[in-house]
Structure 1
Amino acid sequence: MKNVLLVFTGGTIGSEASCGTIATSVNAPYRLLQLFERQYPEHSQIDFTTIRPVQILSENITPTFWETLIKTIEAEQPERYDGVIVTHGTDTLAYTAAALSLYFHALNKPMLLVSSDRPLDHPEANGLNNFIAAVEFIRQRRETGVFVPYRNPGEYTQIHLGSRLASSLQLSGDFISVQNKSYCRFENGVFSEPLITLKNKAGTAFDLKPDFSKRIALIRPYPGLNYTLFNLDGIDAVLHDLYHSGTACASMQWGADCSLLPFIERCRKQGIPVYLAPSIHSDSAYESTRELLEQGAEMLWNLSLECAYVKLLLAYGNFSEDGITKFIERDIAGEHVACAKSNSV
């Protein structure tokens, strides 16, 4: 018998479609368990303890949602269970996966986030498949940490490290891990050998409070971005997204308003650090990237954008200056992808 804490939070997996509108439903969580009992012959071997702290479509969440979710899970003493399953929407799945991965980095139990690309009663929905994969992971595997089982259409179910899950691909409901490298695969009831070796957690734990800063700005680059439009009042730090090659506009050719360099200088004068992500650390870098770093921006090497953002929120919500740096630099949940070269996190 496996004892599983099942946390319902809404999302498409917790929704129903009616008259062309998809909305959260109080009945959907029970529908998931009903379908599970029908499709899973050994359902009697799983004892679920269910809680529902929030019922929300995931596009509507804020960091306060993570704080509520974490406090609710902690109140249930997750170490008492064989594993934890959290149902969640797909829109912000990568952000919540990062938040739980980082916060619960010292938890010695598996925690899995389960989503669905369509409401459960849709014949092509993958939610039940993803849920069964989560249950099987708790039954079969001994790894601890946060994972996300997800089956893209026409593919086998992939098990993603929560700290490396990327947001859904544009104009689809498909998910991949950063660099398209998942943790393992679930096929015909069997898990493949892991593609990544998890490090021992000894000595990596940070004493964290579920406090996520509300004063971090995230800026995404695009051609013609005008930095004079940003008001920095009430901002503690800026995270600036980068193009895939680890770059952003550092040229003054089209005027200072469209160059990141003067914006970094403006932030520096106001005592606001500017962080950059994502970018893989290497011996070679583009000229524009070096100019940004020389101007004073700090690169968050080898992190996905989603994980970098959430890690900054946790860092600024929990630590002072020295502690912020230590927390950001430490790989605590397998979030630093460069180590994948040696198949180790």
Structure 2
Amino acid sequence: MQAEVGDKVRVESKGMQYEGILMPSQTRSIVLKLKNGYNIGIRQESASVTLLEKKEENKIHKPISEPIKIKKEKLPNISILSTGGTIASKIDYRTGAVTSQFSAEDILRAIPELEDIANYNCRMIYSILSENMRPSYWSELARAVYEEIKNGADGIIVTHGTDTMMYTAAALSFMVETPVPIVLVGSQRSADRPSSDNAMNAVCAATVAASDIAEVCVVMHGSTSDDFCTIHRGTKVRKMHTSRRDAFQSINAKPIGRVEYPSREIKMLSGYVKRGEKKLALHDKLEPKCALIKYATGASSESLLFHSGSGYKGIVIEGTGLGHVSTEWIPHIKNAVEAGIPVVMTSQCIYGRVCDRVYDTGRDILKAGAIEGEDILPEVALVKLMWALGQAADIEKVREIMRTGIAGEITRSTCI
């Protein structure tokens, strides 16, 4: 019997044997998905293929035109809000570029395993790659999330590009107080690539959206194999690699948990807010005119001068070590604060927390009026400052908000 795409096969080539799932190929090579989730290409002319097992009927490669099934009783109702990104993208073979072309409905049809987890309502909020995200889109997305929960959704999935997913996760964490799970998910590789991680990530995200973890979280591959996804708190996650499937890591905190695959068993690793503990509330006002400035050795204070004199309402500085900048920057920090512009100090270090009380420079920065960013990630501090300025105009109130833990962005200890 001839092997087809989706079948389990053994390929022999040049004295080596490989077993895996036969995948689509755009070249004259045999593409095989191995058990560890990675793919290899083998030249057809030097290989022999043995069929080991036929694919499961109706489980692989469902026609894209097939309608979504009628809702099943006793399954939770989950809303999928699509914003684009690689999980909703495919390759344009005319240019070789990845473009955002799939809707949430397309994702459901392409991953039939999702039907066993929940019933779905799909909405496309926008279809963009994540580098084109902006604060006004966060507010629009937060309102859409709020509406879906208010209308009875038991959980929310937001499909999103990975490059700026942590910014959006932080924004939703501050803007939406939620009684149900809000899960952001993406993929490092587009849906039509043989090595795509979109299906497993989507299944794990749906599992979390149907769970009792009532927080904003990011669910992505936890290893380079297809064995589990990690559940990251939305204010403690960062993309740490450009292309690996396990690119996302929790920083200065343990992950909330992990989803074993394919069993979909959730194993908890830390405390979390449970379903129904909070009442639904929306705080969607933001001040987009905020800047994140990275300090570098010998950097002139002109950047700080520019932002404080160009209508910016808040500034986050990514300083060295414990949260330091050159002493020549300190008078300009003081001038900005006296002009009503809050300045937040964070660190370029991935792990640890800011403490400006150890060295003279740090003490002078505090005297100038800067706000210590504790162990908040710089990008999260930027989003939180935008949000804080949307809630209060008074700089002292903004200072109080920035020092107060709102959505798990500040931890008591960073000894992880």
User: TM-score w.r.t. structure 2 length?
Assistant: 0.71
Tell me the SS of whatever aligns to 2:128.
coil
Tell me the SS of whatever aligns to 1:84.
strand
Q: CA deviation at 1:96?
A: 0.3
Q: Per-residue CA shift, 1:51-82, capped at 9, x if unaligned?
A: 01111111011101101111222233446111
Distance across 2 between alignment mates of 1:206 and 1:331 = 18
1:281–1:238 distance in 2 versus 1, CA, 3 Å? closer
1:207–1:330 distance in 2 versus 1, CA, 3 Å? farther
Match of 2:331 in 1: 262
Distance across 2 between alignment mates of 1:226 and 1:340 = 31
Distance across 2 between alignment mates of 1:118 and 1:200 = 32
**8 Å contact from structure 2 (residues 322, 355) kept in 1:** no
Q: 2:89 aligned with 1:15, yes or no?
A: yes
Match of 2:4 in 1: none
Q: Per-residue CA shift, 1:296-334, capped at 9, x if unaligned?
A: 211121212222111111110122325423432332221
Q: Which of 134, 147, 165 is the matching residue for 1:75?
A: 147
1:282–1:103 distance in 2 versus 1, CA, 3 Å? same
Q: Which of 116, 126, 130 is the matching residue for 1:58?
A: 130
Q: Which of 175, 180, 184 is the matching residue for 1:103?
A: 175
**8 Å contact from structure 1 (residues 250, 291) kept in 2:** no
Match of 2:235 in 1: 163
Q: Per-residue CA shift, 1:198-227, capped at 9, x if unaligned?
A: 367999889653121022121111223222
Match of 1:33 in 2: 108
Distance across 2 between alignment mates of 1:88 and 1:45 = 20
Match of 1:256 in 2: none
Q: CA deviation at 1:123?
A: 1.4
Tell me the SS of whatever aligns to 1:8.
strand
User: Could you say which structure has the greater relative contact order, defined with CA pairs below 8 angstroms and 6 or more residues apart?
Assistant: 1
User: TM-score w.r.t. structure 1 length?
Assistant: 0.85
Q: Per-residue CA shift, 1:255-294, capped at 9, x if unaligned?
A: xxxx321321332353322111246266973443333223
Q: CA deviation at 1:153?
A: 5.1
Q: Which of 269, 276, 291 is the matching residue for 1:217?
A: 291
Give ranges in structure 2 of 5+ residues lacking alignment. Answer: 1-74
Distance across 2 between alignment mates of 1:336 and 1:202 = 23
1:77–1:192 distance in 2 versus 1, CA, 3 Å? closer
Match of 2:25 in 1: none
1:213–1:203 distance in 2 versus 1, CA, 3 Å? farther
Distance across 1 between alignment mates of 2:121 and 2:384 = 30
Match of 2:364 in 1: 291
Q: 2:401 aligned with 1:327, yes or no?
A: yes
Q: CA deviation at 1:187?
A: 1.9
Tell me the SS of whatever aligns to 1:276.
strand
Give the alignment of 1:234-249 within 5 angstroms. Answer: 234-243=311-320, 245-249=321-325
The one-letter code matched in structure 2 to 1:20 is G
RMSD over aligned Cα, in angstroms? 2.8
Distance across 1 between alignment mates of 2:86 and 2:359 = 41
Q: CA deviation at 1:138?
A: 3.0
Deviates more, 1:163-172 or 1:204-213: 204-213
**8 Å contact from structure 2 (residues 342, 398) kept in 1:** no
Q: CA deviation at 1:249?
A: 2.6
Distance across 2 between alignment mates of 1:78 and 1:207 = 10
How many residues of Structure 1 are paired with residues of Structure 2 in the alignment?
328
Distance across 2 between alignment mates of 1:82 and 1:111 = 10
1:170–1:263 distance in 2 versus 1, CA, 3 Å? farther
> After TM superposition, what 4+ stretches of structure 1 lie above 4 angstroms from structure 2?
170-173, 199-208, 281-284
Greater helix content = 1
**8 Å contact from structure 2 (residues 213, 275) kept in 1:** no
Q: 2:210 aligned with 1:119, yes or no?
A: no
1:144–1:308 distance in 2 versus 1, CA, 3 Å? same
Distance across 2 between alignment mates of 1:325 and 1:205 = 26
Give ranges in structure 1 of 5+ residues lacking alignment. Answer: 252-258
**8 Å contact from structure 1 (residues 13, 115) kept in 2:** yes
Tell me the SS of whatever aligns to 1:53.
strand
